[in-house]
């Protein structure tokens, strides 16, 4: 696994282990307050587990294995969530939220099939958020405006962290460059999607790549997306240049959610029409669930970026391959 590990020559954390732990709490306090204010969100409690037959769990790109297990007093098996994209929309309906209001929560998950490297762990922690919108808000301009509010919150959080820890020197560009996945392919037709992300983010520092999920002109997808939460025409990934590792870091995947029309279309494209039997999908098909926008913002990735760390294990406790642990020790990287 450590073949994916990259530690820059001469890297040394600017913060001690104790300072790092204090800084993690400070970042989480500062950023979630800014996020809730910018997007008008209430904090709510969310599940770690859902029933396997609920249809609520996020399928991500559709191939990842979920962590599942039996429960002594139940006939049905349970699953550890992979994200809360569907649960949040159901919650907004149940709690009676209206247009312009939303929720956020601390989401913890296990993604057993994720590769582990500098920026990936099988343990996922993020702020999952969701907001009710009107039919008129289902457009690119509204999506862009929401992204810009999030980026301003990120940039302001970095400035506050740097004031508290002056040994930190990097900044976050608060001007977002927007581009569709097709425009990006047209720009770099001979590159892979990841290579395109690297090139465009190195140039513009803060980038939002839109319209992810459907096939491009080349016949391939920029990246996989489940067909039943984001509208592939109204979603995207927020990438910020990580100057420590000299690479983009994906801070958020987000988008305007499917309505009845886009749900039907995307289930057909992906050949997963059978999902329409689930309660969640039925509630969208008959326009019972509210129209929403939402996403996830990685907590550990944000802390890693703001604290100028080289490995996500410096800001979260997880499990790692033994050879990765050894290499980190040899290069002075202190995993929590």
Burial class of residue 287, CB neighbours in 10 A (0-12, 13-18, 19+): exposed
Of 13, 32, 36, 58, which residue is the catalytic one? 58
Can 259 be counted among the known catalytic residues? no
Give me the catalytic one of 253, 270, 299, 316.
Answer: 253
Closest CA to 263 of 247, 275, 245, 255: 275
Angstrom distance (rounded) from CA 246 to CA 258: 35
250 catalytic residue (yes or no): yes
Catalytic annotation on 159?
no
Give the other-Cβ count within 10 Å of 135's Cβ.
9
Active site annotation includes 111? yes
Question: Which residues are paired to 129 by β-bridges?
Answer: 104, 295
Q: Is 223 a catalytic residue?
A: no
- Which of 82, 83, 126, 252 is catalytic? The answer is 126
Task: Please answer whether residues 263 and 284 qualify as being in contact, where contact means their C-beta atoms are separated by less than 8 angstroms.
Answer: yes
Active-site residue identified among 250, 272, 275, 327: 250
Q: Which entry of 237, 259, 308, 314 is annotated as an active-site residue? A: 237
89 is an active site residue: no
Positions annotated as catalytic residues are 58, 111, 126, 237, 250, 253
């Amino acid at each position: 696994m450590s073949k994916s590990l990259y530690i820059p020559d001469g890297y040394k954390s600017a913060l001690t282990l104790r300072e790092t732990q204090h800084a993690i709490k400070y970042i989480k306090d500062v950023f979630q307050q800014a996020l809730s204010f910018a997007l008008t969100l209430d904090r709510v409690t969310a599940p770690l587990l859902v029933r396997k037959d609920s249809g609520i769990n996020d399928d991500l790109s559709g191939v990842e294995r979920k962590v599942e297990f039996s429960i002594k007093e139940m006939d049905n098996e349970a699953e550890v969530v992979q994200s809360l994209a569907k649960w949040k929309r159901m919650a907004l309906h149940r709690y009676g939220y209206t247009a312009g209001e939303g929720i956020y929560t601390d989401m913890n998950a296990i993604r057993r099939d994720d590769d582990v490297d500098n920026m990936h762990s099988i343990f996922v922690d993020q702020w999952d958020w969701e907001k009710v919108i009107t039919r008129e808000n289902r457009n690119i301009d509204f999506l862009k405006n929401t992204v810009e509010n999030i980026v301003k919150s990120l940039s302001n959080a970095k400035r506050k962290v740097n004031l508290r820890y002056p040994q930190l020197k990097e900044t976050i560009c608060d001007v977002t460059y927007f581009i569709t996945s097709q425009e990006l392919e047209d720009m770099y037709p001979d590159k892979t999607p990841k290579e395109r992300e690297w090139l465009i983010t190195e140039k513009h520092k803060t980038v939002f790549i839109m319209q992810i999920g459907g096939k491009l002109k080349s016949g391939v997808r920029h990246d996989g997306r489940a067909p039943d939460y984001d509208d592939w025409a109204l979603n995207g990934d927020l990438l910020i240049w990580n100057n420590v590792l000299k690479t983009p870091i994906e801070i958020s995947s987000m988008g305007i959610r499917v309505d009845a029309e886009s749900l039907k279309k995307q289930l057909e494209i992906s050949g997963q029409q059978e999902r329409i039997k689930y309660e969640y999908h039925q509630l969208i098909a008959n326009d019972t669930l509210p129209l929403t926008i939402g996403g996830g913002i990685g907590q550990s990735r944000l802390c890693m970026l703001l604290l100028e760390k080289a490995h996500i294990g410096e800001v979260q406790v997880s499990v790692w391959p033994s050879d990765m642990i050894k290499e980190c020790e040899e290069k002075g990287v202190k995993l929590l």
